[in-house]
A and B are shown apart, each in its own frame.
Chain A
Amino acid sequence: METIIENELVRELANKHGRTRESLIPILQDMVVHNRFLSKQDMVDVARELDMSAADVFGTATFYSFLDTEPRGKYIIRICKTISCAMKGKNDILATIQEILKLNLGETSPDKKFSLLEANCIGWCHKAPAMLINDTPYTELTPEKVTEILREYIKK
C-alpha cells in the first residue's frame, strides 16, 4: 500500500482556515505565499485534507492568476500592461527590467529569485506606470527608479 506522507503545511493551514469548501482559497493563497506556487502534490494533499476531489482543487486554483501552478521566484514582479500604464511608458520599464534581470516575460531566474510577469490593471493608473513586487506596489516608475528598486531586491 502507498504510504501517505503528511503535508505539514497543508495540515497547519487547514487548522487555521478550516476544512470547508469556503476555506479552500485562503489555504491556497497562504500556500502560494509560503512556497511561491502550488505543486500538483500540494493540490492533491489539500484535496485529501479537505475531503474533496483533486480535480476541483486544480480547477479552482487554475482559475485565478495569482494562484500560480508553476514554480515562481521568491520575488514575483507583475508589471501592469493596461492602457494607462501602456501609455505612460510601460514598455521602457519592462525593457529595463529585462535588461537587468536577463529575463523574458513569464520566466523565472535560474536562482529562483525573480519571476517576471505582466498583470492587468492593478489600480494605480493615476501614478502610471506601476508594478507589484509580491504584494508591494511601486508607482510612477522610470527606468532609473526601477533600476534602483531592483538593485535593492537583488541585495536581499
Chain B
Amino acid sequence: MSEKHVKRVDLIFEKAECQEVLGKIMKMEPDDICQEVLDSDLKGRGGAGFPTGLKWRFAGNEEDPVKYVVCNADEGEPGTFKDREILDQVPEKVFCGMAVAGRAIGAKIGYVYLRGEYKFLIPKLNEALNKFHDVMDEYNHNFRIKIRLGSGAYICGEESALFESIEGKRGEPRNKPPYPTKSGLFGKPTTINNVETLVHTVMIMKYGAAHFKELGTKDSRGSKVFSVSGDTPISGIYELELGMSVHEFVQEFGDGDTKAVQVGGASGFCVPRKKFDETIIGFEGVPTGGSMKLFNSTRSMYNVLHNYLDFFTEESCGQCTPCRVGCQQLLMGVEAVKRGEKNSKYLDELVKLAKTMKRSSKCGLGQSVGNAFGSIVENFKEEIIY
C-alpha cells in the first residue's frame, strides 16, 4: 500500500490583494499576459482542459473593437460544487481574473453567468462587484462586469448554449466551428473561462508561471479544487496537487470500502477498484472538472447508472436526435435488461448506441453520456443485469 499523501494546496482560496495584480497587468502588453498564462501550461478547470493562454491569444488576435469575457459559473455537473465556494469565499479574485482576461484579449465587458440555483449568492457578489468597479476606476480601467442568472438548465454550462442564454434565447448549443474566440457572445470574439481557471490566472500573474508549474505533472500542471462527495467520511472542497492516482485519492478520502470512484461527474468516467492504481486523475488519465464521487460496496451501480441516465434524459436540450432519443433509449434499455425483458446481449447494443451518440451528438452533453455508460456497464455488468 502506498504511503504517499495527497498534497493539499492553498492558492485558490488565499486572500489576495487584487490591486497589486491589476496594477501589474495594466503595465503589461496584452500578448505578454497571454504568453505568461501559456507558459504556465494552465488548462481550463471546467473539465474540457483547453489551454487557457491559447484561448486568450486566439481571442486577442481577432481584430474586432467589441469583445467579451465570460465567466462560466453555471456549475451544474452532478457532484461539482467548488465554484460556488470560490464565488462565496473569494469573489474579488474571480472578477480580477476577468479583468486580466479582458486586458489580455482587449475586451471591455465581462459577464458572469451564474446558475439559478446559486441565486442566494447575488447580494454578496453585487457587493464585491461594486468594490471591484471602484478599484477599476482608480486604475482608470474601464472594464465592467455584469452578472446574469441561469434558470435551471444544465445544458447552459455548455459554452455556446450559455451565450444563447445570455442573448435571451433557449439554451441550445450552436454548431462549431466557429469557436467562441472567433464568434462567441453576440457573434463577437469571446473568451469563456471557468470560475476556477480565472482565479488561477490571477495567481499566475501574481507569482509567475514558474511558480504555478512547480506543482502537478507534465500533462496536468498546478493544483485543482476538487468536490468530494458520496461514501466518504470527509466530503467537502479540497485543493489538491494534480497527478495523483485514484488509489492515492481513495487512501485519503475513502471509507475503507470504496468499490468505485466516479471522476468528472455524470459526464465523466467510473473507475473500479481494480483500476485505482493505474488511473491518474488529470489530463493524462481521467480528466475532471472537480467532481469526485466515491461509492462503497453497499451501493448498487445499477442505481447510480439509472440516476445519471435519468439526469441526462431530463437535461438533454432535445435539439439533436442522437442525444434526445439516445438518452431515452439508454434509460429504457437498462430498465428492460434489469426487468429481464431483454437479455444481457442487449447491453452490447446499448454500448454501441452510446458510441454512436459520442460521434454524432452536436455538443458535449450527448458526446459524453457514453463515458459513464460505457465505464459502468463494462466494469459492473453483473450489477446492471441481476
Q: Are A64 and B229 in contact (CB under 8 A)?
A: no
| Extra A-B contacts (6), CB below 8 Å, given A25-B151, A126-B227 | A20-B168, A21-B168, A22-B167, A63-B153, A82-B78, A126-B229
Q: Are B78 and A125 in contact (CB under 8 A)?
A: yes
Residue B386 is within 8 A (CB to CB) of chain A in the complex:
no
Residues of B269-298 at the interface with A, using a CB-CB cut-off of 8 Å, are 293
Q: Are B236 and A126 in contact (CB under 8 A)?
A: yes
9 interchain residue pairs of minimum CB distance:
A64-B151, A125-B229, A66-B152, A24-B168, A126-B235, A65-B152, A63-B170, A66-B151, A121-B78
Residue A60 is within 8 A (CB to CB) of chain B in the complex:
yes
* Proximity bits, B191-229, A CB within 8 Å = 1, else 0: 000000000000000000000000000000000000111
Residue B76 is within 8 A (CB to CB) of chain A in the complex:
yes
Q: Are A60 and B168 in contact (CB under 8 A)?
A: yes
Residue B141 is within 8 A (CB to CB) of chain A in the complex:
no
Contacts of B227 in A (CB 8 A): 125-126
Number of A residues, CB within 8 Å of B: 36
- Which residues of A line the B interface, CB within 8 A? 20-26, 28-29, 59-60, 63-67, 81-84, 86-87, 119-128, 132, 135-137
Q: Are B81 and A124 in contact (CB under 8 A)?
A: yes
Q: Are A60 and B118 in contact (CB under 8 A)?
A: no
CA distance A72 to B317 in the complex (A): 24
In whole Å, how far is A121's beta carbon from the nearest beta carbon of chain B?
Answer: 4
Contacts of A23 in B (CB 8 A): 168
* Proximity bits, B280-323, A CB within 8 Å = 1, else 0: 00000000000001000001000110011001001101000000
Residue B364 is within 8 A (CB to CB) of chain A in the complex:
no
Q: Which of B84, B165, B293 is within 8 Å of A123, CB to CB?
A: B84
Residue B148 is within 8 A (CB to CB) of chain A in the complex:
yes
Q: Which of B79, B169, B304 is within 8 Å of A60, CB to CB?
A: B169
CA distance A128 to B294 in the complex (A): 14
Residues of B108-165 at the interface with A, using a CB-CB cut-off of 8 Å, are 115-120, 148-154, 165
In whole Å, how far is B178's beta carbon from the nearest beta carbon of chain A?
Answer: 20
In whole Å, how far is A110's beta carbon from the nearest beta carbon of chain B?
Answer: 25
In whole Å, how far is A106's beta carbon from the nearest beta carbon of chain B?
Answer: 14
Residue B11 is within 8 A (CB to CB) of chain A in the complex:
no
A128 closest partner in B (C-beta) = B229
Q: Are A64 and B81 in contact (CB under 8 A)?
A: no
A33 closest partner in B (C-beta) = B119
Contacts of B231 in A (CB 8 A): 87
Residue B351 is within 8 A (CB to CB) of chain A in the complex:
no
In whole Å, how far is B122's beta carbon from the nearest beta carbon of chain A?
Answer: 8
Q: Are A84 and B230 in contact (CB under 8 A)?
A: yes
Q: 30 interchain pairs (CB within 8 A)?
A: A21-B169, A22-B168, A25-B165, A29-B116, A59-B170, A60-B168, A63-B153, A63-B317, A64-B116, A64-B152, A64-B171, A65-B151, A65-B153, A66-B151, A66-B152, A81-B307, A82-B307, A82-B311, A83-B304, A120-B76, A120-B154, A120-B314, A122-B117, A123-B81, A123-B84, A123-B118, A125-B293, A126-B235, A126-B236, A137-B120
CA distance A86 to B227 in the complex (A): 17
CA distance A82 to B303 in the complex (A): 11
CA distance A24 to B299 in the complex (A): 44
Contacts of B165 in A (CB 8 A): 25
CA distance A128 to B293 in the complex (A): 12
Contacts of B236 in A (CB 8 A): 126
Residue B41 is within 8 A (CB to CB) of chain A in the complex:
no
In whole Å, how far is A56's beta carbon from the nearest beta carbon of chain B?
Answer: 8
Q: Are A132 and B117 in contact (CB under 8 A)?
A: yes
Q: Are A119 and B152 in contact (CB under 8 A)?
A: yes
Known A24-B168, A87-B230; contact A121-B77, beta-carbon cutoff 8 A: yes
Q: Are A135 and B78 in contact (CB under 8 A)?
A: no
Which of the listed residues A28, A64, A124, A127 has the most CB atoms from chain B within 10 Å of its own CB? A64
In whole Å, how far is B232's beta carbon from the nearest beta carbon of chain A?
Answer: 9
Contacts of A135 in B (CB 8 A): 119-120
Q: Are B311 and A121 in contact (CB under 8 A)?
A: yes
CA distance A67 to B81 in the complex (A): 23
Residues of B226-247 at the interface with A, using a CB-CB cut-off of 8 Å, are 227-231, 235-237
CA distance A34 to B247 in the complex (A): 51
